[in-house]
Structure 1
């Protein structure tokens, strides 16, 4: 987890949140074949298959490598260890190389192919690098252990959608690995259904802290938080968690996805861990039961979204595009980091599924137009400079709603 004190939450990186509901994912995330040998999933069985001993052993194994910041030999050894485990379970694994600023690294991408390759996959992520000098048991050994637990549990079943398990490096340097990954995905024009990012999910101070978990969301990912909340309710005896849902202010790899239009969530421990980024970030200060409950909740949500009749969003924002400076509606200069800047009027175009009855457009929370015929569009004639949020809300004849958003301007993270 990128370090932020609980009192001030200083913003540390320049980034732009430009969020729409459909985001690219590498071709490996949409394989052509499914898993005929696996059987139909039972969410409760998946949840119960995740136990404390697996979580504890996985965190201990990562901690045993010692501090493993990006670029270190220890980080390479952690990468190899995690890759071998995922491959041993029969997942398709590849390494995504990246280079930003003075750093280089590799992200681990493991997939469990779905029955219907044409459906956008669902993703769970964490980061496997640690802060310098820290063994990283909670930040983010807890998240990595939970991703491993979900992969081990879900690979026993077949799902309609592909499930991707992605482990990033470069998070502690400013989410460099995930930013590079999602940049590549976006410019390849791929799609995903949604993302759950786990970062720092192991520390508790009080009994109340062990019964709650924070979920940071955006309008584009509220449907995924709904799915998680329903799993927490339906399987409370196995999960024993309440969700504290908050507007996104989290500082982790989920922001890279949001920047390029992903509907992404950040899952985080309820109480602040004062041992973050220190030599004391060890299992001694990790509540293994708490991590296990969050891992169960995550795996159950993945199973529901990947297979059951949960409606995923079916609207995207085609214009404005990411990594572009617009001047009076025309693309003037290429940008980076998902940035969208605009000077003067700007067209907004939403692409929605065939059953869409109407699209309502919002600017900074205010409904400004309704379009009932494709192509769904609206021209903003106000002067747009820095921080603005544009939202497209698609509605079908049955009243189902999907939301896409794009944030304009520069935001410090």
Structure 2
């Protein structure tokens, strides 16, 4: 269990810059879309059980590379780091955005893409979706510090990918890689149907493990980790509607960095799901809206830690997207459920057959139970703030 301490720091105490920075960072955080998050989670699920070194694991790597390439990252920015597990090779994927002022000092945001026993949509498709959204939005945004988006494999077998990366890459240069901060995102999908309104922000200095377990870990980075985690908590409060709660790091990909005396922090779900590492770690058993909300906080935090530039155009309030642009319906064709990829509140959804008969209606509900609908073609009408959009839905049993 995580150790719980509510934040007592002042929200803006660390923000030593003007309101224009805050507004710009917030505008970019608001570019996270629920539709993108939903699509990424479902695509991740479709890749199957991504055990380290498996075909599905390799397919997930290729999927990730395709996403970064589609976002505009070049071959020079994308690299692979290979390690061996059970006589099989697996790869970490690293995408680097070079900073303008401190090109050789790095903010690392990381999360693992390998899974065991199930598709791992929560553990850790949720973290991967957030990292990808951050990379998409910040692709052409300059920052003073360099940013590395790292997707690790081998986490479930004992942090193999991250340990190999620290040993061979971080410490494999002379001088070793200069890391300002490591932000790890692991299992932030929440529990379907629960009130997922809080997030654990994790710091170094775990006091609750048995004596000796942390004897090889330095304590000299603990205070700096606490400072960084407090800043992360402030960013979650400022740029999302999720309440941050203090916890301590444990058993995830920041641990090899911590042992290497780097400064680390991380995010982990507050309502802890029982589904990870099982066949039940699926889209329907987690909360995609929670992932969307956390992603906004992460976007704000990543800009803060990397000192992203202020763009005058982005600093202004952006024009809202049309309802049609904000909606995605998937899967389509659907079977037992369909997801309405729409962020926000105040919308109604009506599903009708082609005779005009209403067969399903809901309010502010993303996941709809369509298990009782027969195979066929239906119309989905979504109404919000006086605007309506109608889309076609196919039910296929």
TM-score > 0.5 by shorter chain:
yes
Indicate if the aligned counterparts of 2:111 and 2:253 stay in contact, CA closer than 8 A.
Answer: yes
Whole-angstrom CA distance in 1 between matches of 2:110 and 2:49: 20
- 1:49 Cα shift? 0.4
Task: Indicate how the Cα distance of structure 1 residues 191 and 101 shifts in structure 2: closer, same or farther if over 3 A, else same.
Answer: farther
Task: Determine the structure 2 residue equivalent to 1:176.
Answer: 160
Gapped regions of structure 1 (runs ≥ 5): 1-5, 8-38, 310-413
Task: Determine the structure 2 residue equivalent to 1:58.
Answer: 40
Indicate if the aligned counterparts of 2:123 and 2:186 stay in contact, CA closer than 8 A.
Answer: yes
For residues 16-27 of structure 1, the aligned pairs below 5 Å read none
Task: Indicate how the Cα distance of structure 1 residues 205 and 76 shifts in structure 2: closer, same or farther if over 3 A, else same.
Answer: closer
Whole-angstrom CA distance in 1 between matches of 2:110 and 2:23: 21
Q: Which secondary structure does the structure 2 equivalent of 1:162 belong to?
A: strand
Whole-angstrom CA distance in 2 between matches of 1:106 and 1:114: 25
Task: Determine the structure 2 residue equivalent to 1:307.
Answer: 307
Whole-angstrom CA distance in 2 between matches of 1:111 and 1:87: 12
- 1:207 Cα shift? 5.1
Task: Determine the structure 2 residue equivalent to 1:223.
Answer: 227
- 1:41 Cα shift? 9.2
Task: Indicate how the Cα distance of structure 1 residues 56 and 75 shifts in structure 2: closer, same or farther if over 3 A, else same.
Answer: same
Aligned with 1:71 (options 43, 50, 53): 53
Task: Determine the structure 2 residue equivalent to 1:135.
Answer: 119
Task: Determine the structure 2 residue equivalent to 1:314.
Answer: none
Aligned with 2:182 (options 170, 190, 195): 195
- 1:247 Cα shift? 2.9
Task: Indicate how the Cα distance of structure 1 residues 264 and 102 shifts in structure 2: closer, same or farther if over 3 A, else same.
Answer: farther
Task: Determine the structure 1 residue equivalent to 2:274.
Answer: 274
Tell whether 2:200 aligns with 1:214: yes
For residues 114-129 of structure 1, the aligned pairs below 5 Å read 114-129=99-114
For residues 294-373 of structure 1, the aligned pairs below 5 Å read 294-307=294-307
- 1:264 Cα shift? 1.1
Whole-angstrom CA distance in 2 between matches of 1:65 and 1:101: 21
Whole-angstrom CA distance in 2 between matches of 1:118 and 1:164: 11
Task: Indicate how the Cα distance of structure 1 residues 41 and 257 shifts in structure 2: closer, same or farther if over 3 A, else same.
Answer: farther
Aligned with 1:234 (options 235, 238, 246): 238
> Could you report, residue by residue, the CA deviation over 1:45-91 in whole angstroms, capped at 9, with x for unpaired residues?
11100011111100100100111101110110110010111122222
- 1:230 Cα shift? 1.9
Whole-angstrom CA distance in 1 between matches of 2:188 and 2:22: 29
Q: Which secondary structure does the structure 1 equivalent of 2:145 belong to?
A: coil
> Could you report, residue by residue, the CA deviation over 1:364-410 in whole angstroms, capped at 9, with x for unpaired residues?
xxxxxxxxxxxxxxxxxxxxxxxxxxxxxxxxxxxxxxxxxxxxxxx
Higher relative contact order (CA 8 A, sep 6+): 1
Task: Determine the structure 2 residue equivalent to 1:243.
Answer: 244
Task: Determine the structure 1 residue equivalent to 2:362.
Answer: none
Point out the structure with max Rg over C-alpha.
2
- Alignment length (residue pairs): 267
Whole-angstrom CA distance in 2 between matches of 1:228 and 1:265: 8
Whole-angstrom CA distance in 2 between matches of 1:45 and 1:196: 21
Tell whether 2:166 aligns with 1:186: no
Indicate if the aligned counterparts of 1:150 and 1:299 stay in contact, CA closer than 8 A.
Answer: yes
Q: Which secondary structure does the structure 1 equivalent of 2:137 belong to?
A: helix
Tell whether 2:191 aligns with 1:204: yes
Q: Which secondary structure does the structure 1 equivalent of 2:36 belong to?
A: helix
- 1:103 Cα shift? 4.8
Q: Which secondary structure does the structure 2 equivalent of 1:193 belong to?
A: strand
Gapped regions of structure 2 (runs ≥ 5): 3-20, 205-221, 310-397
Whole-angstrom CA distance in 2 between matches of 1:168 and 1:86: 15
Task: Indicate how the Cα distance of structure 1 residues 100 and 68 shifts in structure 2: closer, same or farther if over 3 A, else same.
Answer: closer
Aligned with 1:98 (options 72, 83, 89): 83
Task: Indicate how the Cα distance of structure 1 residues 148 and 41 shifts in structure 2: closer, same or farther if over 3 A, else same.
Answer: farther
